[in-house]
Structure 1
């Protein structure tokens, strides 16, 4: 059975259809990219899978279990990690404390925070930071980090859920080209070694075609194509969806 099964997800806002009968699956260790023009419905679909939005109809299954109506916190504890287009960290806390807060949430210890939490799960937090190359910055305030390093900390926070599934919304947004490649190389390595399925949205076609094992193309809330990066590059409907401007696809060929 596939790790993630999305079945006929649909969502409308008033008279505007943001997602229509979207269906696909994701396997362990797979890097699946979701691309499409602005307004295609990528964020809506991502938020339905992550639990931030409830679908009008359809279902989401993780390892065969329905999580369609689970909250984001419940999904986190069930093994769904997530990063956001704009990195979300507690700037008033240091790097290790940010990861410790995620671990406290995973262990469902939020109600016990009347007790001192500074040392809670610190060793595990340091191990996760080491995994993303940020252990040396453990005691630095997040507010002092370069943006690329913040993205790495956010990845460590997502990994705190011991994810089966990792959702990454525009993971390289705001990063320099070298930082983009390094972050996605790291993600691909983690996905392969821990058998984590990764679903990511991305506008940078170099990132998509350099790291995705499979690509889905969304247009007006519907999947119009799916396949390997090479198949997507050559797909005439995909080129048309990008308003005939296929230089971004061609330059990575």
Structure 2
């Protein structure tokens, strides 16, 4: 069953058309990647789905509910979670405190905290850290964690809202190759078991082709190809889009989409 349905999205900035008639779906438990060369419009499309940008026209449906003009906060409460290219955590707080704060926000308990925040939702926060393999670091400040571990904490924060749809903006940016594969393997396992749809952008084509069920390729604001990783590798138009190199997609690490 379709979780996310995007139809006819357009967005221009002055005379520049950043997105033109963009349409796609994300199914429950599916990981869908958006790739493309620099300036292809990936961030524009991603931010229209997330609510940071409003389309000039078009529609975004989540579970058949129109969220086209909903704020990021309202989308969050309807089941849209997000991670960022640069991990968004409170570095002075411990891993478990970061997840507790997310749970406090989810329960709309940020005002009038008569009970100290560190005593709220700790058991649930620890369980979420356990899901992402970070339970042993629960009481360590995020400032003292390796960056790959901070990204895992951020994933736990995103899961605190029990999302139906998870938006991941370059989830493995700044990580070592082994950490990238481990984070995406973890994400794939969690989202498949919970039926969460994932929409992500990514520079590393090894990550894209190794984890996405389907791939969308953008060029100058338009989708030029959509299909399985194998179909995308063989698509002549996609090959030409990447540096004009017909063998580019056979050498994933040589691509430089942004």
TM-score grouping bracket, smaller chain normalisation: over 0.9
- Equivalent residue, structure 2, for 1:228: 228
Pairs within 5 Å for 1:94-243:
94-113=94-113, 115-243=115-243
Question: Deviation at 1:239?
Answer: 0.6
Question: Deviation at 1:167?
Answer: 0.5
Q: Give the alignment's TM-score, normalised by structure 2.
A: 0.94
Number of residue pairs the alignment of both structures matches: 252
The reply to whether residue 54 of structure 1 matches residue 54 of structure 2 is yes
Show structure 1 runs of 4+ deviating over 4 A.
none
Q: Distance in 2 between matches of 1:66 and 1:250?
A: 39
Query: Is the 1:7–1:23 contact (alpha carbons within 8 Å) kept by the matching residues of 2?
Result: yes
| RMSD, aligned α-carbons | 1.2
- Equivalent residue, structure 1, for 2:256: none
Gaps of 5+ in 2: 253-258
- Give per-residue Cα distances to partners, 1:150-198, cap 9 Å, x unaligned: 1101100111110110110100111000000000000110111001111
- Equivalent residue, structure 1, for 2:88: 88
Gaps of 5+ in 1: none
Q: Give the alignment's TM-score, normalised by structure 1.
A: 0.96
Query: Is the 1:205–1:248 contact (alpha carbons within 8 Å) kept by the matching residues of 2?
Result: no
Q: Distance in 1 between matches of 2:113 and 2:58?
A: 37
Pairs within 5 Å for 1:5-44:
5-44=5-44
Q: Aligned with 1:187: secondary structure? A: helix
